[in-house]
Amino acid sequence: MQLERTLTVARMEAEASATAGLDDVWRWLIRCQANPVRLDVGDLPALGQGTRLRLALPMNAPRAVICTLWLLEDVDAGGCLVAGQLRVVAHPTGSEIRLSFTGRTAMAVTSGPLHNEAHDVARQLLGVIAQSIERPNLERAAV
């Protein structure tokens, strides 16, 4: 008797806030276009490996930005681990933005960090993105 194994694609979702404006988001996205962001194991401990974050050309609306992103293995010609959409919505009167990520594992998995901790990976990824966007604001405030 042969056992049939079901492979599933893990969905992942997360939301986060940051103190930044859409101008800060645009500057960060532009910087990241040509240079994928390297993330080490400490940035995404739930994933347990180094990765590179690639971003597509963003689209915008009056108070929002949406961008496709891919999380790749941190090796030459690394395979895609996660693919999804990053959405950033600005508060109408405040200086806060709301980031959300919806994605899926890029390959079918039956076990491992991407299967068991997909939402933790998504939360950690958004946390790293939010900190990266906020960092220039902190540097300008200190000057």
pLDDT recorded at residue 7 = 52
Q: Are strands 59-61 and 64-73 parallel, antiparallel or unpaired?
A: antiparallel
Query: Would residue 23 count as lying in a domain?
Result: yes
Per residue in 54-69, pLDDT tens?
A: 999 999 888 999 999 9
Residue 130 has pLDDT above 70, yes or no: yes
Of 115, 113, 110, give the one whose Cα is nearest residue 6.
Answer: 110
pLDDT recorded at residue 1 = 47
pLDDT recorded at residue 142 = 36
Query: Would residue 1 count as lying in a domain?
Result: no
pLDDT recorded at residue 112 = 61
Residue 89 has pLDDT above 90, yes or no: yes
Query: Would residue 3 count as lying in a domain?
Result: no
| CATH number, residue 62 | 3.30.530.20
pLDDT recorded at residue 116 = 65
- What number is the average pLDDT over the span 75-93? 88
Query: Would residue 89 count as lying in a domain?
Result: yes
Query: Would residue 2 count as lying in a domain?
Result: no
Query: Would residue 17 count as lying in a domain?
Result: yes
63 is in which domain, residue-wise? 11-142
Is the distance from CB of 41 to CB of 49 less than 8 angstroms? yes
Task: Catalogue the E-assigned strands of the chain.
Answer: 11-19, 37-39, 51-55, 59-61, 64-73, 80-90, 96-105
Residue 113 has pLDDT above 90, yes or no: no
Query: Would residue 5 count as lying in a domain?
Result: no
- Structural domains counted in the chain: 1
Query: Would residue 112 count as lying in a domain?
Result: yes
- What number is the average pLDDT over the span 115-134? 88
Per residue in 1-50, pLDDT tens?
A: 454 555 567 889 999 999 999 999 999 998 898 788 999 999 999 888 88
- What number is the average pLDDT over the span 95-117? 77
**Contacts (Cβ under 8 Å, ≥6 apart) of 32:** 53, 55
